[in-house]
Structure 1
Amino acid sequence: MRWKHIAAASIVLATMTGCSLVDKLVYRIDINQGNYIDQTAVEELKFGMTKEQVTFLLGPPMLVESGFPNTWYFVQYLKPGHEEPQQKELVLSFNNEGTLVGMKGDYKPGANFFKPIQ
């Protein structure tokens, strides 16, 4: 009779903790989407760079709106297996001549960003 109580108690405990325990044992791949943005590449950006130079450093943008071709959006989305997803953005603005005039988002510009290219 005693072993029946022990078996019932272990089954109840296994069902209560089983889902969270099994969830951690199951392998989940890391999901990377969008642009891979490296902070060191962002620090190399300088005021006055052309679109071609920016593309060489960061790669092609994720989005260029048809109505606003001088605004480029770089988006990096990372969801590690069992962790919370992370999303970082970088928005670059160009003037009508195609040179870099502004930057905003989750990345910090380098010390030389506001020094024009010579």
Structure 2
Amino acid sequence: MARLILYSTLVFGLLHGCGSNLLTVHRLDIQQGNALEEERVEQLRRGMTPAQVRFLLGEPLLQDPFHGGERWDYVYYLKRGDGQTQRRRVTLQFQDGRVEAIRGLEEG
């Protein structure tokens, strides 16, 4: 009888531990694209050359091949292990080898 109580207590404790957040599975953060740091994005200016933009943000994730590389898209996606997601996108439009327009979008 003592063993039954001991085993029951042990099983109950293990099941209770699984139901709480004590024994959760560790989930890794998933990061894709260019890490768009706020201070670097804020340094973008109209009139910059492609080399200057590459120095700040790195190589763009997407380049429009149909318009001679005049549009660059920097995309960043982060899904944290706790389920929160962050998306950022910066689109640069070039004209005559210089940044003409900067568009940014940030979501949750």
Task: Tell me the TM-score range normalised by the shorter chain.
Answer: 0.7 to 0.9
Contact 2:34 2:76 (C-alpha < 8 Å) held by counterparts: yes
Greater fraction of residues in strand = 2
Percent sequence identity is: 35
Unaligned runs of 5+ in 2: none
* Secondary structure in 2 matching 1:67: helix
Are 1:40 and 2:39 matched, yes or no? yes
Query: 2:91 matched to which residue of 1?
Result: 91
Q: Distance in 1 between matches of 2:103 and 2:63?
A: 15
- Residue identity in the other structure for 2:91: V
Structure 2 SS opposite 1:106? strand
User: Greater CA deviation, 24-33 or 69-78?
Assistant: 24-33
1:28 paired with 2:36, answer no
| 1:19 CA displacement | 6.4
Change (3 A) 1:64 1:20: farther
Gaps of at least 5 residues in structure 1 are 108-118
Q: Secondary structure at the match of 1:49?
A: coil
Q: CA RMSD in A?
A: 2.6
Superposed, 1:1-118 pairs within 5 Å as 14=15, 21=21, 25-68=24-67, 69-95=69-95, 97-106=96-105
Counterpart position of 1:110: none
Instruction: Map Cα deviations across residues 6-55 of structure 1 (whole Å, 9 max, x no partner).
Output: x6xx97xx59xx56858x71001111110001111111111100011100
Assess, with a 3 A threshold, how the Cα gap between structure 1 residues 82 and 20 changes in structure 2: closer, same or farther. farther
The runs of at least 4 consecutive aligned structure 1 residues that moved more than 2 Å come to 18-22
Give the C-alpha shift of residue 85 in structure 1.
2.1
Residue 67 of structure 1: CA displacement? 0.5
Q: How much has 1:106 moved relative to structure 2?
A: 2.0
Aligned residues: 98
